[in-house]
Structure 1
Amino acid sequence: MRAVVFDFFGTLTDPGIEGGRRDAAAVTAAALGVPAAAFWAAMVASFTERITGVHGGTRDVLREMARRCGVEPGEVRLDAAVEAHHHGSVPLWKPRPGALELLAALRGRGLRLAVLSDCGAELCQGWAGTPYAPLVDATVFSWQEGTRKPDPRLYAAAAERLRTAADECWYVGDGGSREHQGALAAGMRPVLVTNAGYPGAGRHRDDPDPYVPADLIDDLPQLLALTNAWDRRLQ
């Protein structure tokens, strides 16, 4: 195995803060001048559209969400809403304990690393400023690619950007978006992070994957031991 492809939200990020999405959305809704409950419902219903770039960037997305709530926002309100939305997004990128150390250890072993995420424009635009960026060799973001997991083109793009074959890649994720089915179909070896230490984390998964891989870890730092054991098995 020469590479590891990681999901982002709930895998590299802290699963315990996923519940903060709704509170952050409420701040954006207030800036737009729309009811928080209606705005949240519109955001949830439009998830696939938003993460595949159907409506464009953050500003255009928020304008469309406001319209779906029956409001035509002015430019000043949109300015404030964009700022609020970006401000609310960044805390959701907080690394889970041990994530950055794991990435550094895997790189130290010579493994190439990628992130494959279903995400909106915010992460694409802010990625270079995250602590993950210096530790990751390649990214595949749904908003930039125009499609979402488990589309096989995303996994193929990750392998290509890592300059390795798909069957030489681990795929590590918490199980949303049928991601492990996609990884298996692409020829990668899937690993499920169960997040057993984060009760309720699973309820934030979009389109949970019914497929359960053979390789399971309860917390991300355990991946190092799993990959070490695999290497010893092959020796």
Structure 2
Amino acid sequence: MRAIVFDFFGTLTDPAAEAGRRDSVTATAAALGVPADRFWHAMGASFPERIVGGYGDARQTLRRVARDCGADPAESELDAAVAAQLAGSVHVRPPRPGVLDLLDRLRADGYRLGLISDCSSELYESWPETPYAPRIDAAVFSWHEGYRKPDQRLYEAVSARLGVNPADCWYVGDGGSREHAGAHRAGMRPILVTNTAYPDAAALRSDPDPYTPALAIPDLDALPTLIDS
């Protein structure tokens, strides 16, 4: 196995930070002058289309969702909302404890590292500024590609950009979005991160995976031992 492909949210990021996602959306709603509950549900309902680029960038997305909620924000309100949305996106993606050192170790051991993330525009647009970017050799984002997990084109894209065959890849994720089923069909070897220490994080994963990998670890710090064995 020459490469490791990671999921992003709840896998490389700190699962505990997921609890702040609603507060982030509430701040954006306030900037738009939209009731927080209505905006939260509208964002959730738009998720499948937003993450494949159907709503455009952050500003276009917030304008459209606000209008879906019955508001017509002024440009100044959109300015504030975009700022709140971008700030919130930073707060929900801090690195899992120890993960940056882990990525450095894996690369030093000779592994090529990839990423597949179902995400909206905020992550794609800010990716170069994150501490993950210099450690990941090939990153594939649903918003940019125009399709989401478990679409096989995502797995094909990341393996091609890593310069390896899918059969040479581990796929590591916390579940949701049928990501392990997609990795298995692509010929990758899936590993489930159960996040045993973060029982609330699993409730935020959408589209549960019908495929249960044979290999599972409670946290990423167990990954080197597993793949070395």
Question: In structure 1, what is the equivalent of residue 24 of structure 2?
Answer: 24
Question: In structure 2, what is the equivalent of residue 108 of structure 1?
Answer: 108
Question: In structure 1, what is the equivalent of residue 175 of structure 2?
Answer: 175
**Whole-Å separation in 2 of the counterparts to 1:168 and 1:3:** 6
1:176 Cα shift? 1.0
**Whole-Å separation in 2 of the counterparts to 1:219 and 1:114:** 18
1:92 Cα shift? 1.1
**Whole-Å separation in 1 of the counterparts to 2:172 and 2:31:** 36
1:55 Cα shift? 1.1
Note the alpha carbon deviations across 1:170-221, whole angstroms, 9 max, x for none.
Answer: 0000001000000000000000000001121100101111211001000011
Q: Secondary structure at the match of 1:159?
A: helix
Note the alpha carbon deviations across 1:67-92, whole angstroms, 9 max, x for none.
Answer: 11101111111111001100111011
Question: In structure 2, what is the equivalent of residue 87 of structure 1?
Answer: 87
**Whole-Å separation in 2 of the counterparts to 1:59 and 1:24:** 16
Matching residue's letter, 2:155: Y
Give the paired residue count. Answer: 229
**Whole-Å separation in 2 of the counterparts to 1:203 and 1:55:** 25
Once superposed, which parts of structure 1, at least 4 consecutive aligned residues long, lie more than 2 Å away? none
Q: Secondary structure at the match of 2:92?
A: helix
**Whole-Å separation in 1 of the counterparts to 2:83 and 2:75:** 12
**Whole-Å separation in 2 of the counterparts to 1:100 and 1:176:** 23
**Whole-Å separation in 2 of the counterparts to 1:215 and 1:95:** 23
Q: Is 1:36 paired with 2:36?
A: yes
**Whole-Å separation in 2 of the counterparts to 1:39 and 1:100:** 34
Note the alpha carbon deviations across 1:32-64, whole angstroms, 9 max, x for none.
Answer: 000000000000001011110001100000001
Q: Secondary structure at the match of 1:12?
A: coil
Q: Unpaired runs of 5+ in structure 1? A: 230-235
Question: In structure 1, what is the equivalent of residue 209 of structure 2?
Answer: 209
Provide TM-score, normalisation by structure 2: 0.99
Question: In structure 1, what is the equivalent of residue 192 of structure 2?
Answer: 192
Q: Unpaired runs of 5+ in structure 2? A: none
Question: In structure 2, what is the equivalent of residue 164 of structure 1?
Answer: 164
Residues 45-124 of structure 1: pairs in structure 2 closer than 5 A: 45-124=45-124
